[in-house]
Amino acid sequence: MVKFAKWAGYALGLFMVVMGLMKIFGDVPIFTILENNLDTKYGLKLSWIDPQFKYFTAVLEIISGALLLLGQRFKGGALAVMVIGGAIMTHLFVIGIYTPTSAAADAPLSPGLFITACISFLVALLVTAGSRAKNA
């Protein structure tokens, strides 16, 4: 378990850094969808979600990834669990499981982003638990 936590921690760390950088430098429509759904479903007009909240989550993902890549698996894994857990909750309660595959207006819907979040959440849990087992 400890060896898995080590290598999975590095893979998860790289994944988290890439996801954070995509939010900063890429075209990520999910935060616009989140903002629009909060307005239409709940009447919440939160104009700061895109870009401020997008950048905030990007920074948390990069910090988590950096911690994991530097061998701080418990801290990085725990932060990854929190960030990815928040993403899963957002999918379940606000934006839905099926989301657009791109920023195009006619983009097809896919559960790919939700499935990716669920798998990375499980990996983050295993990395965090594996690093705790080593230290216990």
Asked if the model's pLDDT at residue 52 lies above 80, the reply is: yes
- The C-alpha atoms of residue 60 and residue 65 are separated, in whole angstroms, by 9
- Residue 130: both structure tokens together: 């594996």
Give the percent of the chain with pLDDT over 70: 96
- Reported as a pLDDT band with limits 50, 70 and 90, residue 103 is confident
* 117/81 Cα distance (integer angstroms): 10
Cα gap 47→83, rounded to integer Å = 21
pLDDT digits (tens, 9 = 90+) for 105-130: 788 999 999 999 999 999 999 999 98
Q: What is the pTM of this model?
A: 0.89
* Residue 2 pLDDT: 64
Residue 15: domain span: 2-135
Q: What domain count does the chain have?
A: 1
Report the pLDDT value the prediction gives residue 133, as an integer from 0 to 100: 61
% of the chain exceeding 90 in pLDDT: 62
pLDDT tens-digit profile of 68-84? 999 999 999 999 999 99
Quickly state the pLDDT bin for 101 (edges 50, 70, 90).
confident
First to last CA, the chain: 13
